[in-house]
Amino acid sequence: MSSQRAIVILNRGSGRQNGDQAETTIRNAFARHGITAEFIHIDKRNDPKSAAHQALSRGDGIIAVAGGDGTISGVTSAMVDQDRPLGIIPQGTFNYFARSMGIPEDLDRAVDLIASGESRPVHVATINGETFLNNASIGAYPAILKTREGIYRRWGRSRIAAYWSVIKALIDFRTTLKLTIVVDGKENTLRTPLVFAVNNAFQLDQMGLDGKDCIARGDMVLLVAPDTYRFGLLRHAIALATGLAKPHTDYEMLCGSEIDIRMKQRKRYVARDGEVSIMKGPYRLTRAASPIHIYVPIAAKEAVR
């Protein structure tokens, strides 16, 4: 690779290493390839999208992001219209996006991949213009994520803690959404505690769900939970988490390239790739007009992710 500089956007709160350890490890990994790493930190004053704009403004060099799916998603919001590849250094709990692209979760191997210089265009989805790589949701899932952060602060980040947050949040969840959902022009009116849009076939496979063909042709999958009491919702969530969910019992699945979600409430919490923010409705989900470019293994260049 001709460039001798890497600009690394680092979420020091992601992963099991502390921020200083992660920065040192990443710096040394790039140095083995003769590449000098500079860092832009994500913190309360600097969100991922702003950090990506800073990286782009620094001129030539590799741009990479080290963090979980939420951090990576925020960075890609600024990379959609840029003809520059992005390196991914997975540092999250599940790392669905990196795993779907064949990017190693081992930090040194992820940097080796970036230094190799192989990239491919990847189409991403948006909700009201904001990028998401894996999923976007309204209802119970944002509540789960808010509960999860509290559990992480107390017990640390792990997949076990993430699963426990699902149980804890759903036991207390009581909200039913009254929605009008329009999928490619077809209107559905329904009540549900959760809608969950997926743009990653790998995540569907991990959940034991159909829908890969839908994503392969450029559409999104929308999972709609049945309107049920809170312990019923918990049962459906456990079925999804264990890969035992049954269509028409634990969820309804819709498939389309353009999805509009309308409700009476003007604002709601929306989760995008594990990060929660307040967003005004109505909610429009569609594919971004331009792809992003990601450093990937050669074998992953044509795969459906």
pLDDT tens, position by position, 121-167: 998 999 999 999 999 999 877 777 777 777 777 667 777 777 666 66
Average pLDDT over residues 222-235: 71
Count of alpha carbons within 13 Å of 188, Cβ hemisphere only? Answer: 17
Which pLDDT does position 227 carry in this prediction?
A: 76
Which pLDDT does position 16 carry in this prediction?
A: 60
Q: How far apart are the first and last CA of the chain?
A: 26
The DSSP-derived string for 66-104 is EE-HHHHHHHHTTTTT--SEEEEEE-SSS-HHHHHTT--
Which 8-state DSSP code applies to residue 298? G
More confident residue, 247 or 243: 247
Examine domains 5-124+290-300 and 130-287 and report if their fold is the same.
no
Taking all residues of the chain, what is their mean pLDDT, rounded to a whole number? Answer: 85
The CATH number given to 130-287 is 2.60.200.40
| Contact present, 22 and 91 (Cβ < 8 Å) | yes
| The listed CATH number (3.40.50.740, 3.40.50.10330, 3.40.50.360, 3.30.300.130) that belongs to domain 5-124+290-300 | 3.40.50.10330
The predicted model scores a pTM of: 0.84
Cα–Cα distance, 256 to 129 (Å, whole number): 17
Boundaries of every domain in the chain: 5-124+290-300, 130-287
Which pLDDT does position 144 carry in this prediction?
A: 77
